[in-house]
Structure 1
């Protein structure tokens, strides 16, 4: 029996790469395994073209013809991330991985319409409402805004907004608001 799966178009999370230096190439390779919709900008498209990786869309400040014929060139209006999210939501994508230098507070405005994961410099950020639970190994670093915490289990406070898992097992977070909360995990 084959381990390959049939993937419907837009079923896998799209990939927005605003900074290819924000994530190790090995992790970027893992994100590309299922052939997601790949979105780049003027700064990151050359990285993909040099590695012969298919790019679907480039949000650009200039009109360029790329060696890959299928690339859509779309003018930047607000910035690569908000423009790409608007595009993905308009085209009914359900999830996106974003590789960038840091998560932006403005991403919360998109969370109701699309599932967002930000990958940046050894951290994976997710946007969650109400409650979060996950199995983690002992000593894993977690970042969560303390002002949104109602309760927590399995974590020890280490610094402002910083926690570490006390032991192997599930950790639980509950929030005191209906807002989306950005949680960072070491990868």
Structure 2
């Protein structure tokens, strides 16, 4: 086993591309730097191939596999992973867990679906990219990071109370749909009970 192979399968976060709407190659390029295992859902395959990226696994339903069999040769050593009922996300995550990956960046998942991922957080570190915002879960009840002036989205079940501490002071925020907070330059601490998610603009 080469060292490249070891890094590819065990250490770096895998990349799972479900949809490319609103996503540019420039956003994804930094995630490809360490040659992660790359899984792509069938609808996103043509665009990803046009970017010149080597795909490891195509998540595909049977009719797609039959009509795109040529990809196995053209994109060798790509493989198909069979999907039924459009469950591309579920199959991709199950594959990553079974193959002992520890982390994944998911591209093109509606952030409103992140709560579906929480049972998987025991096995995988998950970051979700939805358009220009990167969402990551806070599993231990406290988040702390230094920011320049920016906006953050707080994402949790409706009505969740989170304590936000910034250089400007402390406040209790009740999460509603699309709750954004403005943070000043300095260290921001956010505390809450249970899992909550933070959305960070990546084009800032």
Residue 182 of structure 1 deviates from its aligned partner by 2.0
Please name the residue that 2:70 is paired with: 65
Structure 2 vs 1, CA of residues 45 and 135 (structure 1 numbering), >3 Å: closer, same or farther?
same
C-alpha distance in 1 between matches for 2:96 and 2:191 = 30
Bigger shift: 89-98 or 159-168?
159-168
| Contact 1:143-1:185 at 8 Å conserved across structures | no
SS of the residue corresponding to residue 111 of structure 1 reads: helix
C-alpha distance in 2 between matches for 1:153 and 1:19 = 35
C-alpha distance in 1 between matches for 2:61 and 2:34 = 29
C-alpha distance in 1 between matches for 2:186 and 2:58 = 41
C-alpha distance in 1 between matches for 2:174 and 2:130 = 21
**Alignment size in residue pairs:** 181
1:132 aligned to 127, 137, 143, which one?
A: 143
Indicate yes or no: 2:190 matched with 1:183: no
Which whole-Å deviations, capped at 9, do the CAs of 1:43-97 have from their partners, x for residues lacking one? 1111122222100000101322311111110111361111100000001100000
Residue 150 of structure 1 deviates from its aligned partner by 4.2
| Contact 2:162-2:175 at 8 Å conserved across structures | no
Which whole-Å deviations, capped at 9, do the CAs of 1:116-135 have from their partners, x for residues lacking one? 00011110100112111111
| Contact 1:95-1:114 at 8 Å conserved across structures | yes
Unaligned runs of 5+ in 2: none
- Cα RMSD of the aligned pairs, angstroms, is 2.4
Please name the residue that 2:159 is paired with: 147
Structure 2 vs 1, CA of residues 23 and 137 (structure 1 numbering), >3 Å: closer, same or farther?
same
Which structure dedicates a bigger proportion of its chain to helix?
A: 2
C-alpha distance in 2 between matches for 1:22 and 1:158 = 29
Indicate yes or no: 2:112 matched with 1:117: no
Query: If the length of structure 2 is used for normalisation, what is the TM-score?
Result: 0.79
Unaligned runs of 5+ in 1: none
Bigger shift: 124-133 or 161-170?
161-170
Structure 2 vs 1, CA of residues 68 and 83 (structure 1 numbering), >3 Å: closer, same or farther?
same
Alignment of 1:32-71 (within 5 A): 32-62=32-62, 63=65, 64-66=69-71, 67-71=74-78
Query: If the length of structure 1 is used for normalisation, what is the TM-score?
Result: 0.86
2:183 aligned to 156, 160, 166, which one?
A: 166
